[in-house]
Structures are given as structure tokens and as C-alpha cells.
Structure 1
Amino acid sequence: MNSEEWVKQLFKYCDENNINPWDFDFKQCYVNEKLDESKPKLPLILQYKSYLLKDKNEKFNITGKTGKEADCDKESFHIYKILNWQKDPNDQIRGDSMNSFVSTFNRLISVNLYKDVPKKNVLAPFSVENAETLKSEYGEIPKIADLNSRLIQNPGLLKKFHFSEGNKSRIQSGETKVDLIEEIEKFSRLTHSFGNYIVMLSWMNTGRGNALSSTKDYWDLTLKDLHHYFLSIDDKIGELNWQKFIKKYYLQPFVNKNFIVQELWNEHFNVRTYPKEISDFEQFYHNINLLIEERGKWMTKKLCDKLQLQNFNFYKKHLANMEEIKFFDEIIK
């Protein structure tokens, strides 16, 4: 099956099953039965991260890999090819997820097991409160892998954590309108939607998420570094090529109208790599979902227009009147 046929098949499947293509969860590549949209999304991404998804869905799985070798952002190669981002599956430039699920989620649920660490440690800002929740629920503090297994069985446990209660209080007091649990659920799916995918040099892909990386798989920090690199070559030519880069990969949702990279939460560029306060987590999840969705819609429109697929219901309803992709400051008010 060539790239055009594969994308047509994907979009036809989405249309017939009332799924917007920009919401399609590529974890479906490793599950034979249709994903149940009525079920919580968190258990599925934790199963994926725990290497438990071992089916090979013949419709969508193009790598032939599952379980520990499964890699969702490599399954959408045909999309990259049609958009002229990647020519061959074995290219050094290949698919990557722009924003990681575990980088932020693990900060929320972690307990610091070491002594003499400040209560508001950036790697586990709610460590003390999380420990109390887990001891109350289980009589012990499970390791992250064990906790993920328990969340797979009981995703409702997330609502018992301190950060969830804190978010509810902030909603009731009018400090925020963001439902944190709802946004986490949404990101559990959108992490592996093509609006969160890009192609990068394979060594950059690996380097962004390692222990020594300053970006920790946060796309705003990655883009900020890339912008500095472009400008270091030559201010004028660098800026011109930077704008070409943004336009080629439809990254307008991550920059303002002046093509300046925007923070995923307040003070992200100035204070810390990881979110620390409940408000940081609220902003991250709310903002990233809106940005991924906007980019995914535009990618869908470009694919449909290129392949003459404008007759699908999702196109007529959501994309027919979409004239331009929005910048960050048009999305995040």
C-alpha cells in the first residue's frame, strides 16, 4: 500500500467511526479492536509505556513492531511522506513526538524516596502529599512502575491525589477554569496524535529526552534552542530560514505572530524546566492540548486538499472554512 492509499484508508476509517483524524490515537496500531471512546484514556497510554500493547493492527501498523519496540510516531511515516517531511522510513530524519506524556505526568504522581530533599523538590513537587495519598490507599508507597499498573486497573485513583483536590478548589474559587484531570485525559490521547508529531534527526530525538538534556522533551524549550541556533548563523538569513522552518512543519501554534517561541506555562523559560505549582500543570495540559489540536486540524486539511479528500464529513464540518493555521496568541488568550 502506498502513502496516498494508507492516508485515504485512515481518513475513511475516521469518517466512518466519527473520529476526527487529528484525534486519532496511534496506539490503535497496537490494539486490534476499535478503541472504546467511552473508556478513560489514561490506562491505555500507561499500558503503552509499560510495553503491554502487543497486537499488530494490520490496518495501521506499518512498522511491524509491538510491545517494547512499539513506537507510535514512526507509524505515521506515510503522513510525513505526503507532507514532504520524510522520504524513506530508514532516513536519519524520522518521526518524533514533540511533547512527552511521562515528563510531566511523572512529576505529578512521584514521591521522593530520598531523605533531606526539600518539600517542593522540582522533580516531585507534591511528594509529601502523594505519599500520604498512597499510604492511605495501599498502606505503602509503590514505585512508579507499580503505581502505573494500579492506575491502569483503577484510573479513578488519580482524583484522590492532592493536585486533583487543589485543582478543584481553584475551580471553585474562580482562580481557574481548567479541569486538570480532564486535560490529562485528553493529553493521554493527543500525545499520540499526528498533531504532536514532527520529524527530527534521530540523534536529536534521543538527546532531547535524556537525563542531561535541558529541554526534557518540552517542545517550547526545544524550539527556543533551535531559534537561537538559526539566529547564530546570521541574524537576517537565520530569521528568514527560521520562519521557513516554522511554516514547513506547521509550528505556528507554538510561536506568536512575530515568530517568537511562546512558553507552555508562565515563567517556563526563566525559572524551571519542569512544572512545579498546580497552576503550572493546569497551564501546560490546557495549552498543549489546544496547540496540538490546532496543528492537527491544519495538517489534516493540508493532507485532504493535497489528496482531493474534501468529501469527508469531518472536512465539511470542521475544515472547509479553515483558511489559515493560528498562531499561539490567537489560540491561548
Structure 2
Amino acid sequence: MILEEFLKMEKHEAVEYDFKKEIFQLRNLNYHNFREIERVLIYKGNIFQKESDCDRLPLTMSIYNTIWGDEINRYFDIENAGSFIPSNGETMNSFTRIYKIYADVIKQNRRYNFDCDELNKFAKLTHSLGNFIPVYSIYEKNASPFNVSRNASTHDYWDLTMLDIKNYFANKQEFVPKYIRNSSNWFETYRNDSFDNGFNEFCSKHFLDDWIIKENEPDSKWNERNLFWEHHETKRHAVSHFSNEGGEELFRKILSRINQSIITRGELMYDKLKEEFEKR
């Protein structure tokens, strides 16, 4: 699919469009023959050894170029880059981590019939417009220090990613995770003299308005508003609490929130995409 075809869809269709359809077509697989989670597992397995990343498809690159092309030099270690390249592509909320929590709930409770509509929806939305973002890349290597190292620090949870970025900007932390430090050239292009030191501008430019810091807001309040669960910032890799009483309810609540955030951001991106496309 090309960008013009994507924009001919109704807004809600485009926002919830599963980019795995593009991958399945390239692999000569019938997307509709599989259920939501099966599609992710087949996609992740990449047994066909080609066209493996939704966030790096030509269609996705066209979206990045249309929305962020006028500021493209922010995203590279060189000046005058012509267009975004595959290593700029990143998926914000990882299905793999969420699915491991789901598996842990089943294992701990010895349940094999935990039907979760929210998980099925996330399996589709995880590769949709509102879950994609361009990130900093080393042009000649076609490699992103942000993408490569993020998992080690955050397990690819987007709330922890935003916390790390916020701490770099607002708290001017000297010691930051490797993926943040090695992408500092990108973040520094947003730094300014406002009370948040540029974090809010970074959020606005990437349609991340929910994460904006309110003036005089304590870190604890920001964490309460934004982190996926209590104490996530200090227990980054712990998920055992999901097997406790109320774990399933918490799991559904988190997924509902993530799903809605992807849709809301996708709607903002779609409006901007259409606006910029019509200027051509």
C-alpha cells in the first residue's frame, strides 16, 4: 500500500489499520486465516526471512517523511539527510513484553482459558499508526542507538521510556541509560529554557501530549498519571504481582489504557498526515 491509498481510508480505519497486513501480503499469507495473537506470533517468527518490520515498511517511511520530514536532521548524526531510513523506525509499546505478562498470569493461576479482549485488540494495535515513532539513527550504519539498547533498560515498556526521557530533560540527570545517552543529540535539539527544559516540546512534536509535565507538578504526580502500574519506576522488570489477587483486572486495565492511547495518538497523527499530504 502507498500513502495515498492509506489516506483514502476512513479515519477510524486508517488509525486501526494493522500494518501486519502489509507483511502478510508480502509473504503470500492470508491475514484473515489467523487470529489476532497468531498473526503477531507468525509476524515475529519471520520464518519467511523477508520484510520483517512493520515500523520500517516503505509505507511507514512515507508517513515519517510526511509528518516529520521538515525536521529530519534532528533524527540523524549527519546534516542534510534526504529521507528517513529503516533504522529510524520504532514501535513504542512492545507486544512481546505484554504477552509475557499474560503468559505469567496463566502459568501462576494454572489457567489456560484466560480470554482477554484487550490483549486481542492490542495484538492488532501494536502495529498501527499510533504506536510508531521515528527515533535517532546513525546514518552510515543505518542503526539506531535508541532502538538497539532500549530493551535492556526498559524491557520496551513505553512508560519507562518516557520516564527516562523526562529525567534526561527535566531533571538534567547526569547518569542516564545507554540508549538515552547515545541518542542525546536528538534530545538536545528540543532543549530550551522552559520549566521542563524542552521535554514538553519533544512530547508535542511526537503527539505525546498525555506525557507532558504540568508546571510545578512533582515527579510523584507525573508517575501516578503516567506509569502503567505503581512502583514501575523502581521495579522495572518485575511482573510477579500480576499473579496476585486482582492481577487479571490490573492487566486488563493497563491494556485498555495502552490501546486507547495508541488510538488517540493515531488520530492526531492521521490529521497531521492528511494536512501535510494535501499541501503537496
Among 15, 24, 35, which residue is 1:31 paired with? Answer: 24
Residue 289 of structure 1 is matched in structure 2 by 259
1:24 and 1:193 in contact (8 A); partners too: yes
C-alpha distance after superposition, 1:254-305 (max 9, x if no partner): 4465584611233323444344322432222111001000000110011112
Larger-Rg structure? 1
Mind listing any 5+ residue stretches in structure 1 that lack a counterpart? Answer: 55-66, 110-123, 134-159, 165-179, 310-333
SS of structure 2 residue aligned to 1:214: helix
1:26 and 1:193 in contact (8 A); partners too: yes
SS of structure 2 residue aligned to 1:222: helix
**C-alpha distance in structure 2 between counterparts of 1:24 and 1:214, whole Å:** 30
Q: After TM superposition, give the deviation of residue 126 of structure 1 in Å.
A: 5.1
Residue 8 of structure 1 is matched in structure 2 by 4
- CA 1:194–1:291: 2 relative to 1, 3 Å: same
Residue 250 of structure 1 is matched in structure 2 by 207
Q: After TM superposition, give the deviation of residue 246 of structure 1 in Å.
A: 0.5
**C-alpha distance in structure 1 between counterparts of 2:203 and 2:128, whole Å:** 19
Residue 49 of structure 1 is matched in structure 2 by 44
**C-alpha distance in structure 1 between counterparts of 2:109 and 2:253, whole Å:** 21
- CA 1:125–1:34: 2 relative to 1, 3 Å: closer
Residue 227 of structure 2 is matched in structure 1 by 263
Residue 193 of structure 1 is matched in structure 2 by 128
SS of structure 1 residue aligned to 2:39: helix
- Kindly report the root-mean-square deviation, in angstroms, between the aligned alpha carbons of the 2 structures: 3.0
Report which of the two has the higher share of helix.
Answer: 2
Size of the aligned set, in residue pairs, is: 225
**Residue 221 of structure 1 pairs with residue 160 of structure 2:** yes
Q: After TM superposition, give the deviation of residue 41 of structure 1 in Å.
A: 1.1
SS of structure 2 residue aligned to 1:225: helix
- For 1:229, the aligned partner's letter is Y
C-alpha distance after superposition, 1:155-202 (max 9, x if no partner): xxxxx34xx2xxxxxxxxxxxxxxx61000000011001200111121
- For 2:131, the aligned partner's letter is N
Q: After TM superposition, give the deviation of residue 104 of structure 1 in Å.
A: 1.7
**C-alpha distance in structure 1 between counterparts of 2:108 and 2:269, whole Å:** 43
SS of structure 2 residue aligned to 1:288: helix
**Residue 71 of structure 1 pairs with residue 71 of structure 2:** no
- For 1:205, the aligned partner's letter is N
**C-alpha distance in structure 2 between counterparts of 1:104 and 1:300, whole Å:** 26
Residue 237 of structure 2 is matched in structure 1 by 273
**C-alpha distance in structure 1 between counterparts of 2:12 and 2:35, whole Å:** 16
**C-alpha distance in structure 2 between counterparts of 1:106 and 1:204, whole Å:** 23
Q: TM-score, normalised by structure 2?
A: 0.70
- For 1:42, the aligned partner's letter is I
SS of structure 1 residue aligned to 2:163: helix
1:22 and 1:194 in contact (8 A); partners too: yes
Q: After TM superposition, give the deviation of residue 239 of structure 1 in Å.
A: 1.6
Question: Which has the bigger relative contact order, CA under 8 A and spacing at least 6?
Answer: 2
C-alpha distance after superposition, 1:131-177 (max 9, x if no partner): xx5xxxxxxxxxxxxxxxxxxxxxxxxxx34xx2xxxxxxxxxxxxx
- For 1:187, the aligned partner's letter is F
Residue 208 of structure 1 is matched in structure 2 by 150
SS of structure 1 residue aligned to 2:3: helix
1:26 and 1:192 in contact (8 A); partners too: yes
Q: TM-score, normalised by structure 1?
A: 0.59
- For 1:253, the aligned partner's letter is D
